[in-house]
């Protein structure tokens, strides 16, 4: 069975948590596409290398780095994600992953709009900037006001980039997690997927 679930949304909205949970529930493969961009950003900065070249030659070791969840890695990802050559290098990998046998869940910022416009289920997971900043602050610590400013700056970059801006697909289901527990958000996403699975 080929069945793709596209999960998009801004930073710290819960898309990764929801994606991992529903992938496990339905036995689907999961790809956090943001990790690809985080790895390209971090590795290209560490090596002072061309991001497009890094994107074309990513290794499993690059994706297993333990610094990919940091705020700095998120910022690096946002900077390289605006480079058309980086996006082009990563598109084919994501598309082939999405259409693998057995089902796949991909989360990112342009899955439903660019990578998998034919996905069987499209979710756009969002939450208020304040809720997302608080979650990120719980994760990484630091100055809460600074974390909120960084979340808003990241939103601005992601939504206004020329190439594949962050926005819901026309046929995506909006899932606002501002006031939902993780269990509630996962349950809603799972119910949507279950309703669209082939009988």
170: annotated binding-site residue? no
9: annotated binding-site residue? yes
11: annotated binding-site residue? yes
- Class of residue 196 by CB neighbours under 10 A (exposed 0-12, middle 13-18, buried 19+): exposed
41: annotated binding-site residue? no
15: annotated binding-site residue? yes
Beta strand segments in the chain, E: 4-8, 29-32, 104-108, 121-126, 173-176
16: annotated binding-site residue? yes
d(CA 23, CA 128): 25
Residue 8 backbone dihedrals phi, psi, to 5 degrees: -115, 165
31 pairs with which residues across the strands? 106
Angle at 92 between CA 7 and CA 155, to 5 degrees: 40
d(CA 125, CA 112): 12
126: annotated binding-site residue? no
10: annotated binding-site residue? yes
d(CA 10, CA 24): 22
Does the CA dihedral 194-108-65-75 come out positive or negative? negative
34: annotated binding-site residue? no
Per the annotation, binding residues are 9-17
Per the annotation, binding residues for ATP are 9-17
């Amino acid at each position: 069975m080929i069945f793709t679930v596209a999960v998009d949304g801004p930073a710290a909205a819960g898309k990764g948590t929801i994606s991992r949970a529903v992938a496990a529930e339905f036995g689907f493969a999961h790809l956090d596409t943001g990790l690809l961009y985080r790895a390209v950003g971090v590795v290209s900065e560490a090596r002072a290398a061309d991001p497009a070249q890094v994107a074309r030659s990513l290794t499993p070791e690059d994706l297993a780095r333990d610094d990919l969840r940091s705020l700095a890695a998120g910022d690096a990802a946002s900077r390289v994600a605006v480079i058309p050559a980086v996006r082009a290098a990563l598109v084919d990998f994501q598309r082939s992953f999405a259409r693998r046998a057995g089902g796949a869940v991909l989360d990112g910022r342009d899955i439903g709009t660019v990578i998998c416009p034919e996905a069987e289920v499209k979710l756009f997971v969002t939450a208020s900037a304040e809720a997302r900043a608080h979650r990120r602050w719980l994760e990484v610590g630091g100055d809460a006001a600074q974390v909120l400013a960084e979340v808003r700056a990241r939103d601005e970059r992601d939504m206004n980039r020329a190439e594949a801006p962050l926005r819901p697909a026309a046929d995506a289901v909006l899932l606002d997690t501002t006031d939902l527990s993780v269990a509630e958000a996962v349950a809603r996403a799972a119910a949507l997927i279950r309703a669209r699975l082939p009988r």
